[in-house]
């Protein structure tokens, strides 16, 4: 029969994509509720009781309520919301974060999925901080563009209905909900400036971090940054670092759609040390549903890449 999985909130964008990735697997049995019982606390508790792993695809407060509803049961959790990403009792579900992260996810009862923007930012920043190339108190700026699917039903409706702009910048008040996890999981002690935006495409994402290398302690060069990133992700299945020789090809946010992959580039002018780190990923793949399935695979002892590309 394999592992029994309950997706609490499977009717949302992330939940539907997780379900699509799991439907055809013979090592997983999906526990599902009829539409009229999806918000019924008793029916949901019964579903939690049957499950080995529950994946929460809910708003933050609803995710907390689900954990409270079922935490006395013998069920493990993957939370796709922001609710538990900096909670010390939850393991951060980014297997590529460090040498021990994969094992921690495998053993955990509580796993918190990373956010989409923060996945790109952490993948670039954490190895550089760990290598001593980027001080923890550095004034980091992060710019990003995402497809509109990350904005939920209302924003999706605006774009699909033709009433949304071609592109817009938001969260300029520097209170974006991904900032705490970026700081917590990279070790940064100074809050970055983060400027996210949304483009008129459904899914895909590019995250950019500009740096003046001559201002950094020791004045590292582009090769130093590339080497640190390449070493960290060497042999990795889902995160790769692009050839340093490629400085001119276009960065396309939709290039990795429908995959669980992320690609990191180090671009810039070696002579002046003006550099931009860029991560491309699918905000609904490695940034959401793909990450949840990768974590699920680790937790149930399946092949880490099962149902992922």
Look up the CATH architecture of domain 3-113+287-300. Answer: 3-Layer(aba) Sandwich (3.40)
Rounded CA gap, 129 and 126, in Å? 5
Which member of 70, 83, 105, 116 is catalytic?
116
Q: What is the pLDDT of residue 247?
A: 86
Catalytic residue flag (residue 57) = no
Average pLDDT over residues 130-158: 93
- Asked whether the domain spanning 116-283 has the same topology as the one spanning 3-113+287-300, the reply is no
For the chain, the domains span: 3-113+287-300, 116-283
> Does position 99 have pLDDT exceeding 90, yes or no?
no
Q: What is the pLDDT of residue 22?
A: 96
Average pLDDT over residues 260-283: 97
> Does position 1 have pLDDT exceeding 80, yes or no?
no
Helices (H), the chain: 13-22, 41-50, 60-70, 101-107, 116-130, 152-161, 179-186, 222-232, 290-300
DSSP secondary structure letter of residue 110: E
Whole-Å CA distances, 223 to 219, 239, 243, 249, 269: 12, 18, 11, 18, 11
Which one is the CATH code of 116-283: 3.40.50.720, 3.30.70.1380, 3.30.360.10, 2.40.40.20?
3.30.360.10
């Amino acid at each position: 029969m394999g592992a029994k999985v309950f997706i609490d909130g499977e009717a949302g964008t992330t939940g539907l994509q997780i379900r699509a990735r799991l439907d055809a697997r013979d090592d997983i049995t999906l526990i599902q509720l009829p539409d009229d019982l999806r918000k019924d606390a008793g029916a949901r508790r019964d579903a939690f009781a049957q499950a080995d792993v529950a994946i929460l695809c809910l708003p933050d407060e609803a995710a907390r309520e689900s954990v409270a509803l079922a935490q006395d049961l013998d069920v493990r959790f993957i939370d796709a919301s922001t609710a538990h990403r900096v909670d010390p009792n939850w393991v951060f579900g980014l297997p590529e974060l460090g040498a021990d992260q994969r094992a921690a996810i495998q053993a955990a009862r509580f796993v918190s999925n990373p956010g989409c923007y923060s996945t790109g930012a952490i993948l670039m920043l954490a190895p550089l901080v760990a290598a001593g190339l980027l001080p923890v108190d550095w004034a980091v700026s992060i710019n990003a563009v995402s497809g509109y699917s990350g904005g939920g039903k209302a924003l999706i409706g605006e774009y699909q209905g033709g009433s949304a702009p071609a592109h817009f910048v938001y969260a300029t008040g520097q209170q974006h909900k991904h900032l705490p996890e970026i700081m917590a999981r990279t070790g940064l002690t100074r809050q970055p400036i983060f400027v996210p935006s949304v483009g008129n495409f459904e899914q895909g994402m590019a995250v950019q971090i500009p740096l003046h290398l001559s201002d950094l302690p020791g004045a590292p060069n582009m090769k130093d940054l590339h080497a640190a990133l390449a070493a960290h992700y060497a042999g990795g299945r889902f995160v790769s670092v692009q050839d340093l020789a490629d400085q001119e090809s276009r960065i396309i946010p939709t290039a990795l759609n429908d995959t669980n992959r992320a690609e990191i580039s180090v671009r810039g002018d070696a002579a002046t040390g003006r550099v931009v780190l860029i991560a491309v990923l699918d905000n609904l793949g490695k940034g959401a549903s793909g990450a949840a399935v990768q974590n699920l695979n680790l937790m149930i002892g399946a092949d880490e890449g099962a149902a992922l590309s």
